[in-house]
Each structure stands twice: as structure tokens, then as C-alpha cells.
């Protein structure tokens, strides 16, 4: 049996880049303090677990439905979080709408569950600090869900104060943000798979409308939405057909689609980033 060296190497490299990113977030200079890299372990381990659960769930669902798929490709990157995420590559057509929704929804739902757990654990270790002490820092926007989790774990934050997130909570926030991006019902994103399984040809109309909405949000809230809209246009808004469309979609799969939509609404953040 041949070891999947490419996948292993990319996984290890992404582990190192997220570890470095986590250490830098803690103010460690890895060149001067090599052992200080361990400070990045809580963030790195949490984020890698979120990404792994997401992609392996896609992979397992693909195998269950006899659809050929690659193991996850992790993508190391010199970013503030040390990665551009992870992907799997589909190597055969998807046969039924049931399979399409199972494969599309499994990753976001698994990643969502792990992200919520990381957020709760991390928020319990986070600090409420005066706003003046965070001047110049990167401020994260709140989704409906993260705001609710923060309220449940930390209680109301007094005016003039802000939450300084523990690295595990930051990883949880990133996981929820990635989940919302994947669940946008456009093109061949996970949300696009689900929308196509539910709506068929109307999926393209929804995709066009949402790309226009994202471009407008880029002018009103966060410029990154305009770039995301452009990227989705370049990737294409059409979805390849399933081979056996005529097979009815079970009611429970329609409920899974609605659950994914609810998760998207709960995790969407209109202004994800700003500088204090």
C-alpha cells in the first residue's frame, strides 16, 4: 500500500504554518525563540481539527455514496492563520441528489460542531479587557451564533470593554467563518451543492443574485465580499448535473438542506474584520 505522501507533507506543512501563526499571535518571534512555537499549539491544534473534521466528513460521505474522492489537501500559507484551508477533489460524477446533499452538507455540519465546541472552550478562557488596551488590534465581527455563545459563556460585556479571545476561541471563530463561506449557496461551494440538490435549474438564478448581493456588501460592509464575488464568478456559477435526477429526494435530506441554511444564517458575519 502506497502512502499518500503529498497529503501527508501538506498536512505537516500546514501544521507548521498554523503553529507559527499561533505563536506570532502570542507575540513570539520564532526566529529568536524557537521553543516559543509551542505557544501556538492551542490555536494550531484547534484549527487543524476543525479543517480535518470538515474535509474527512466530505470524504467519508463520498465513500458511502460510491463517489471517488481524494484525501484532503491542506494548503499552508503565510497568512494570519497560517493556511488557506483544505480541499478534497471529486474524481467521479455524483449520481443522485441525495448523495449531493449528503456530500455537500457533511463537511460544514461536522466543522460547525467542532467550531462551536472550540468557541465555547476558548471563550471560557478569554478575557474581558478595556477597549483602550486593544487599540490597533484586529477586531473580529460577531455572527449571530458567536454573539450568543459569548453572551452565554461570558455574560454581557460592559460598555468600554471588549473580549480578548483565547487562541482556541479565535480558531473557533475562524471555523465558523469558514463554515459560512462554504455554505453560501453559489456555484460549486458546499452550499451550492445543497442548493442545486434542492432547487435544480433555479440554482443558477440564486447564484447570480447572491454574487450581486456580495458585490454590493463589499461596498457597504467589507471589501473582501467584492473579491469573494469576483472569485466565485471566475470559478463559475453553473453546477454539473447529477446522473439520476429523477430519483426522489427524501424528506430528511430536505431537512438537512434547511439545517445547512440555518447554520449559514447563524454563522454569517457581514463585517468579519476591522482594525480598532
Mean pLDDT confidence for 228-254: 91
**Strand partners of residue 274:** 139
Average per-residue pLDDT for the chain: 93
Return the residue matching grid coordinates 484551508.
Answer: 85
At residue 201, the pLDDT reads 86
Cell numbers describing residue 193: 451543492
Question: pTM of the entire structure?
Answer: 0.94
Contact 83, 75 (CB under 8 A): yes
Residue 7: phi and psi, rounded to 5, are -65, -40
Contact 166, 119 (CB under 8 A): no
At residue 197, the pLDDT reads 94
Q: What is the rounded CA–CA span in Å between residue 68 and residue 91?
A: 5
Mean pLDDT confidence for 237-260: 92
Task: Give the three-state DSSP class for 95.
Answer: coil
The 10s digit of each residue's pLDDT in 111-139 is: 999 999 999 999 999 999 888 765 656 78
Q: What is the rounded CA–CA span in Å between residue 237 and residue 202?
A: 12
Task: Give the three-state DSSP class for 197.
Answer: helix
Beta strands in the chain (DSSP E): 73-76, 83-87, 127-130, 138-140, 161-164, 273-275
Full 3-state SS string of 29-41: CCCCCHHHHHHHH
By CB neighbour count within 10 A (0-12 exposed, 13-18 middle, 19+ buried), where does 66 fall? Answer: exposed
Element (H, E) at 226: helix 224-235
| CA-based radius of gyration for the chain | 19
Cell numbers describing residue 184: 453560501
Q: How far is CA 253 from CA 54, 206, 207, in A?
A: 19, 20, 21
The 10s digit of each residue's pLDDT in 189-225 is: 999 999 999 999 899 999 999 999 999 999 999 999 9
The 10s digit of each residue's pLDDT in 141-167 is: 999 999 999 999 999 999 888 899 999
What's the distance, CA 174 to chain centroid?
Answer: 7
The per-type count for the chain, helices as H runs and strands as E runs, is 9, 6
The 10s digit of each residue's pLDDT in 5-54 is: 999 999 999 999 999 999 999 999 888 888 889 999 999 999 999 999 99
Task: Give the three-state DSSP class for 255.
Answer: helix
CA-wise closest residue to 71 among 57, 56, 84, 50? 56
At residue 126, the pLDDT reads 96
The 10s digit of each residue's pLDDT in 42-91 is: 999 999 999 999 999 999 999 999 999 999 999 999 999 999 999 999 88
Amino acid at each position: 500500500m502506497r502512502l499518500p505522501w503529498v497529503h501527508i507533507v501538506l498536512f505537516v506543512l500546514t501544521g507548521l504554518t498554523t503553529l507559527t501563526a499561533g505563536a506570532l499571535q502570542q507575540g513570539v518571534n520564532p526566529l529568536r525563540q524557537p521553543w516559543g512555537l509551542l505557544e501556538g499549539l492551542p490555536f494550531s491544534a484547534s484549527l487543524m481539527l476543525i479543517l480535518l473534521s470538515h474535509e474527512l466528513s466530505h470524504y467519508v460521505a463520498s465513500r458511502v455514496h460510491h463517489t471517488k474522492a481524494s484525501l484532503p489537501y491542506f494548503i499552508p500559507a503565510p497568512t494570519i492563520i497560517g493556511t488557506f484551508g483544505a480541499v478534497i477533489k471529486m474524481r467521479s460524477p455524483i449520481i443522485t441528489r441525495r448523495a449531493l446533499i449528503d456530500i455537500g452538507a457533511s463537511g460544514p455540519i461536522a466543522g460547525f460542531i467542532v467550531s462551536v465546541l472550540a468557541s465555547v472552550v476558548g471563550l471560557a478562557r478569554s478575557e474581558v479587557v478595556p477597549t483602550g488596551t486593544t487599540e490597533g488590534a484586529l477586531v473580529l465581527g460577531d455572527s449571530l451564533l458567536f454573539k450568543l455563545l459569548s453572551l452565554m459563556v461570558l455574560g454581557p460585556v460592559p460598555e468600554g470593554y471588549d473580549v480578548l479571545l483565547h487562541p482556541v476561541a479565535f480558531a473557533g471563530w475562524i471555523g465558523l467563518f469558514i463554515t459560512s463561506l462554504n455554505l453560501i449557496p453559489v456555484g460549486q461551494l458546499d452550499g451550492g451543492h445543497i442548493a442545486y440538490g434542492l432547487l435544480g435549474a433555479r440554482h443558477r438564478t440564486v447564484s447570480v443574485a447572491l454574487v450581486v448581493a456580495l458585490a454590493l456588501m463589499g461596498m457597504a460592509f467589507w471589501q473582501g465580499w467584492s473579491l469573494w464575488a469576483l472569485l466565485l464568478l471566475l470559478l463559475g456559477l453553473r453546477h454539473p448535473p447529477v446522473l439520476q435526477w429523477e430519483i426522489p429526494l427524501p424528506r430528511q435530506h430536505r431537512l438537512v438542506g434547511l439545517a445547512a441554511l440555518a447554520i449559514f444564517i447563524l454563522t454569517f458575519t457581514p463585517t468579519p474584520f476591522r482594525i480598532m
